[in-house]
Amino acid sequence: MKNALIYGAVIGALSGIWIFVMHLAGISTKPTTEFQPIEITSVIIPLVVLYIGVRSYRENEMGGRITFLEALIEGWKILLVGGVIAIFFAILFINYVTAGSITAFSAQIFGALLVGLLSSLAVSLLIMSRSKNL
């Protein structure tokens, strides 16, 4: 669980900081129907840190071998910790910077959840050890 806490905290902190950086750079953080290409960069943070976190778990705690399910569960633990921290930053942002409501931000939170689950599946497939029976 220590691994999940460390890498989850990194994802949460970097994602939270990214919300404030986008605002300071003048990029709208309000939900819109218009897609802005800079929004893609917010996907890179959890994807890269999740990959590094699950790989670290495989190498340091699992002795270099990990199954798909073990990698998937570790990825979900990392994303759970990161999500809680990122949502904390989002609530701070909504309450003190934009003075909006959490309901307007809920679609982006759901989108982040979906991207996180798909990223976890992809990372688990990349990290899992190949079976010797094949």
Q: What is the DSSP string of 32-75?
A: -SS--GGGGHHHHHHHHHHHHHHHHHHHHTSTT---HHHHHHHH
pLDDT digits (tens, 9 = 90+) for 12-23: 899 888 888 877
Q: Is the pLDDT reported for residue 85 higher than 70?
A: yes
Most confident listed range (19-23, 79-83, 112-116): 79-83
Check if the beta carbon of residue 101 is closer than 8 Å to that of residue 28: no
pTM of the model: 0.82
Give the mean pLDDT of 109-133: 82
Q: In the prediction, which pLDDT does 16 show?
A: 83
Q: Is the pLDDT reported for residue 82 higher than 80?
A: yes
**Secondary structure element (H or E) that encloses residue 129, with its range:** none
Q: Is the pLDDT reported for residue 107 higher than 90?
A: no
Q: In the prediction, which pLDDT does 133 show?
A: 58
pLDDT digits (tens, 9 = 90+) for 24-77: 777 665 555 566 677 777 788 889 999 999 999 999 998 889 999 999 999 999
CA distances from 110 to 1, 11, 34 (A): 25, 17, 17
